[in-house]
Each structure stands twice: as C-alpha cells, then as structure tokens.
Amino acid sequence: MRNFTSIQDVDDVNILVSEAIELKKNPFLFENLGKRKTLGLIFLNPSLRTRISTQKAANNLGMNTMVMNLDKEGWALETEDGVVMNGHKAEHIKEAAAVLGQYCDIIGIRSFPKLENREEDYSENILKKLISYTGTPIISLETATRHPLQSLADLMTIKELSPNRRPKVVLTWAPHIKALPQAVPNSFAEWMSDSNVDFVITHPEGYELSDEFTKGAEIIYEQDVALQDADFVYVKNWSSYNNYGKILSTDKNWMLTNKKLYYTGNARVMHCLPVRRDVELASEVLDGQNSIVINQANNRVYAAQAVLKNILENNF
C-alpha cells in the first residue's frame, strides 16, 4: 500500500494483522528495512499512545523519526484555497506540506474534527491536501473521520485473545463530559464489519454513526440486551453524527460496571484510551481481570510497525 488512511488502503487485512502478531514476537527482524528513511509525525492535537508507539515502531525498523506539534510550535496554518492571507494564519498548507515532503520519506498526520460543520470535517480536507502536496506516503494518526492505526491494533488484540469460534464483539457508547469525535467508533465499526466476528453496536437513540461505517452491524438500543454473551466489549464515547457534534445524553447508566459485565460471556473489555475513570468506564472494571486496555495499547506498536513495514517494502 502507499497510504494508510482507512481499511480501504489495505490489500489484505488478515495478512497485515498476522504480520503485526509476528512482529510482536520478533520486533527487530527487519531492523535495517528503514535505514536512512525518515518518518515525520505531525500533530495538530494531543497524543500519548499514537506518538510514542509509532516512534517506537519506526525505531524498530531502523527509521529516523521527527515529531512536530504543529498546532503549538508551527506557524498558524491556512488550510483553505483562495484565501487572501492577511489574517493571523502565516503559512498555507500547500507550502508547509511540500516542504515537509522534502525532509521526510513517510508522513503521519493527526488532525481532529472541529465538530462544528459535518460536511467540512467529513471532507477530510487536511488529509487530502497532505496526500496531494507532500509527494510522500501518508499515514493517518487519527483524522476527522477515522483512526485506522487504532483499529488495526484493536483487530490484532481481538485475534490474539479470541475463543476458537466466531467471537461476539459489542461496541458500546459511554457517557462523557466533552463532545468527542466519531473517528474511533467509525473506524472500529468499519474494521469489524469486514472481520469474522458477530458485531453489535449499542448506544442511546440519536447516536447513530454514519451508515458508511456501520454497514453489516446490528444496532441495539438496549445496552443490557446488546451485551448478552459478548466476548469483547469496546467502550467508547462519541458525539452525535446526526445532530452533529452535540452531546445528547449524559446518562450514567451507560457506564460499564461489573454488574453490567455480568450479562456478557465474561467479556474482555477494550478502550482506546485515554479513559475517564468512573465517567466512561468504572474503575472496578478497569482494574479488574477482564480489562485488556494495556495489552491493546501495547499492540499499537506492532500495528504501526506492520503498516510502516508494508509501506517501506512497497514504495522504496
């Protein structure tokens, strides 16, 4: 593949997941593959796991990495075309991207949605302009609509810990105090719909995700019913897609507790992190035997490494 911005960029998802599982066993097998190649990681929003796991993945392949928190340390970026730049924005994305393309062989970009204008966010303007103007392969580090490195790590985690049958995977909405992007649940739904799992989504009415991502998923509004016999429960908050960017519910009954976990088939509990304890997910669950969130975060390294390996092998 050339870019990694969604599951559609991947030739064979099963091979990519198997590769990530193999790299976890032997992370330094391809330690010279990325020699003298530079990965640039551009952040327009905060990050812990994505930033560190992707750097570690690149290091394991012998690459150099450069990280820039462009929102704080760069010039204010103009991303629209045809604007007379007489305001506070000093640099156009056209030049910024082209220059970064001179210094880097592969570029990763994190760019959250503003959650104000759905058309604008879902147009993925920044991602598309980077693909056009850098001339390098581009990796999404979570953009407005998707977080594919997270979804690959999630699928890898499910594959590692699955019972010897088709597992039931439930994505459940959770309460939050802030309006969060739909990127993680969109992406998770997209990857699950394409996998050998029974996939159920549960959320309060009004929190339907775009059906572009949820095709093939069963949607159940009663959380207790949805959780029945689940093997994996993925907990995540998101803001409304239809009533775009709005918080429609803060109902505490949607927080996953040990009592709710009882309805499942002793399910493993997943969350992409960061998680707000006792708002989204009860501490008793996070600290209990069923939580696999730390292993899930560890798998981010090998998911990123499998993606970088594939891009290095196919483009240089």
Tokens of 76: 């204010």
Shortest Å distance, C-beta 183 to ligand SN0:
5
**Strand segments (E) across the chain:** 38-43, 64-69, 77-78, 91-92, 106-110, 138-140, 168-173, 198-202, 218-220, 232-236, 268-270
If you ran DSSP here, which 8-state letter would residue 8 be given? G
The only residue of 93, 183, 281, 286 in contact with ligand SN0, by rule CB under 6 A? 183
Nearest residue to ligand SN0 on Cβ basis:
180
Shortest Å distance, C-beta 263 to ligand SN0:
25
Residue closer to ligand SN0 (CB basis): 285 or 312 = 285
Task: By CB under 6 A, tell whether 276 contacts ligand SN0.
Answer: yes
**Amino acid (1-letter code) at residue 135:** G
Shortest Å distance, C-beta 35 to ligand SN0:
30
Shortest Å distance, C-beta 208 to ligand SN0:
17
Task: By CB under 6 A, tell whether 270 contacts ligand SN0.
Answer: no
The only residue of 123, 274, 277, 316 in contact with ligand SN0, by rule CB under 6 A? 274
Q: Which pairing describes strands 232-236 and 268-270: parallel, antiparallel, or unpaired?
A: parallel
**Strands across the sheet containing 268-270:** 218-220, 198-202, 168-173, 232-236, 268-270
CA dist 36 and 201 (Å) reads 44
Tokens of 220: 């159940």
Task: By CB under 6 A, tell whether 48 contacts ligand SN0.
Answer: no
Task: By CB under 6 A, tell whether 181 contacts ligand SN0.
Answer: yes
Which residue, among 93, 70, 74, 73, has the nearest Cα to 83 in the 3D structure? 93
Shortest Å distance, C-beta 278 to ligand SN0:
13
**Dihedral (CA of 133, 189, 67, 82) sign:** positive
Shortest Å distance, C-beta 121 to ligand SN0:
12
Task: By CB under 6 A, tell whether 178 contacts ligand SN0.
Answer: yes
The only residue of 139, 272, 304, 306 in contact with ligand SN0, by rule CB under 6 A? 272
Residues 67-106 within binding reach of ligand SN0 (CB under 6 A): none
User: Residue 50: CB partners within 8 Å, gap ≥ 6?
Assistant: 110, 141, 142, 149, 150, 300
**Amino acid (1-letter code) at residue 140:** S
Site string for ligand SN0, 136-175 (x = CB under 6 A): ----------------------------------------
Residue closer to ligand SN0 (CB basis): 184 or 209 = 184
Residue closer to ligand SN0 (CB basis): 41 or 97 = 41
- # binding residues, ligand SN0 (CB under 6 A): 8
Site string for ligand SN0, 277-316 (x = CB under 6 A): ----------------------------------------
Helices marked H in the chain: 13-25, 49-60, 70-73, 93-103, 118-122, 125-134, 148-161, 183-193, 211-214, 223-227, 258-261, 283-286, 293-315
Task: By CB under 6 A, tell whether 184 contacts ligand SN0.
Answer: yes
Question: Helix %, strand %, coil % for the chain, to 5?
Answer: 40, 15, 45
Task: By CB under 6 A, tell whether 179 contacts ligand SN0.
Answer: no
Contacts to ligand SN0 by CB under 6 A: 178, 180-181, 183-184, 272, 274, 276
